[in-house]
Amino acid sequence: MNMQYSAAGQAGRQVSQTRSFTTVFLIELWERFGYYGMQALIIYFLVQRLGFDDTRATLVWGAAAALIYVAPAIGGWVGDRVLGTRRCMVIGAIILSLGYALMAIPTTNTWLTFSALGVIVVGNGLFKPNTANLVRKIYEGDDARIDSAFTMYYMAVNIGSTVSMLATPALKDYVNAHYAGELGWHVAFAVCSVGMWVGLLTVGVLRRTIAHIGSPPDALPLDWGKLALVLGGGVIAVAASATILEYQWLARLFVYVAGIVVLGIFVYLIRTSEASERAGMAAALVLTLQTVFFFIFYQQMSTSLSLFALRNVDLDFTLFGSHLFTWSPGQFQALNAIWIMVLSPILAWAYTRASGSRFDLSIAAKFALGFAVVAAGFFTYGVAGAFAVGGLTSSWIMIAGYGLYSLGELLVSGLGLAMIARYVPARMGGFMMGAYYVAVGISQYLGGVVATMASVPQGMSDPLQTLPIYTSLFNKLGLAAIACTFIALAALPLMRRLTAAHQAHR
């Protein structure tokens, strides 16, 4: 195996980091095309196609999002120890394409929908941590470039999601308007599956650029027995996921137990780590806990903010009295991705320029700033209610709010993976990437629970009645984000000490 890695290393030296990163960037782009194309429609699909009330739809999607993000805790380990990081990325992409294809079957059967979401859970579990871990391996040991690389990697997420979140709602509306029935929903989900296959073909063409990067199992021939065990476990996970989505008490139990287990493992790893590793692990734990709070805010984009766009936003964009264009409610989610594409290269450039200077903010300081900006974004939505006309707020308010929200997201979520890459020992990389996603998953579910505070009673359709329900929640979220800002600021001295101790032992 050492000889194989030696040969791979020699080949790797002939491939630039940029070319290797580009290949991973492209499959991430197409994977996010599929995922966010589905996410743009899912809450509306549950409410309008399957007939769920707001509370059930929000909790089902919150539980699904939690499972989608919890699964990488296992997928990261499978990539590190069983099948290989590179292989798991490809296998996960194939499974994701099958999940979107199941969503494309024209039926309102609840169990089929939940099973399709279960397949997506398994596919994401294998794909997400291993793709991120490949980026880490490309730039391992270069802190400044890791921050910039993960910011640009985050941009890949938003290129794919921008296109799909603009396309799938429009495609759904077009097909439903021109053909009988509700076929548009399923055609849009089919496009998500096609996008995933485009990503797989791209990696197939460019596979040599990442042939030298991976975990030890990637250097060995594929063990078909281990593959069969992983796929068999995946089938069990699909059935378990569908059951959890059907029974909300199971969803709550699963998410809370997962949180306790992962926190316990995190503490155990800190206590049993070498002295030189302990400070970095403790710093990663503090920032991961802050990330949990952030993603409660993040989950509002696909829940309360999406339903707000459906019921209380003027869908027409006008400028000085002239009509420019009209969006479908689901397309407003694309504003998040559009803003991130605009801001990502600016922040990546700023991080590189500031590296080593007195203007170089620590990741902990960036987290605190991010929460402050998120608070401003939610207050923008909350205050907008005072200027609504007939219960409808201006579509331009959504642009402004999403701009602030997205800047905060880049400062917190965009650097979450970089935080793991910087503070966690390489031998724990896959598992800790997975643990990070478990934290995200827990907060996604909690975000769904928070969103139920703005559930609109079935039958209530007057915008003047629904508007105060949403603005009340957004103002409360703004206050909560301010509280998180102060908590993050209070943690800065501790983070400075932990970071200094971590760097002293490197």
- Domains of the chain in sequence order: 16-504 (1.20.1250.20)
Backbone angles phi, psi at 325, to 5 degrees: -165, 170
pLDDT at residue 316, rounded to an integer? 92
CA distance 28 to 122: 16
Instruction: State the pLDDT at residue 142.
Output: 60
Hey, what are 336's tokens?
């998040």
Give the DSSP H or E segment for 323: strand 322-326
pLDDT value of residue 416 = 60
What pLDDT shows up at residue 359? 66
Both tokens of residue 158?
């938003």
> What is the CA angle 239-430-413, rounded to 5?
85
Q: What is the pLDDT along the chain (506 residues), one digit of tens a residue?
A: 444 444 444 444 445 777 888 788 888 889 989 999 999 999 999 999 999 999 999 999 999 999 998 888 788 888 888 888 889 999 999 999 999 999 999 989 999 999 999 999 999 999 988 887 787 777 766 655 666 676 677 666 778 889 999 999 999 999 998 887 789 999 999 999 999 999 999 888 888 887 788 778 888 888 899 999 999 999 999 999 999 999 989 988 888 887 887 777 777 777 777 766 667 777 777 777 777 888 899 889 999 999 999 999 999 998 888 899 999 999 999 998 899 888 878 887 887 777 766 666 777 788 888 899 999 999 999 988 888 999 999 999 999 999 998 888 888 765 565 666 666 666 666 566 667 777 788 888 999 999 999 999 888 889 999 999 999 999 999 999 999 898 888 877 776 676 666 566 55
CA angle, residues 37, 38, 43, in degrees to nearest 5: 120
pTM summary value? 0.84
What phi, psi does 361 have (nearest 5°)? -75, 145
| Dihedral (Cα; 462, 464, 469, 471), 10-degree rounding | 140
Instruction: Give the contacts of 418 (CB within 8 A, at least 6 positions apart).
Output: 146, 147, 149, 150, 151, 363
Token pair for 99:
């999940």
* Residue-level pLDDT at 420: 64
3-class state of residue 293 by DSSP: helix
Q: What are phi and psi of 109, to 5 degrees?
A: -65, 120
pLDDT at 348: 75
Task: Kindly state the tokens that stand for 343.
Answer: 């801001």
Burial of 243 (0-12, 13-18, 19+ CB in 10 A): middle
CA distance 391 to 313: 8
Distances 370 to 140, 143, 413, 465 between C-alpha atoms, Å: 25, 20, 9, 32
Identify whether the C-beta of residue 347 lies closer than 8 Å to the C-beta of residue 414.
yes
What is the predicted pLDDT for the residue at 303? Answer: 93
CB 158 within 8 A of CB 340: yes
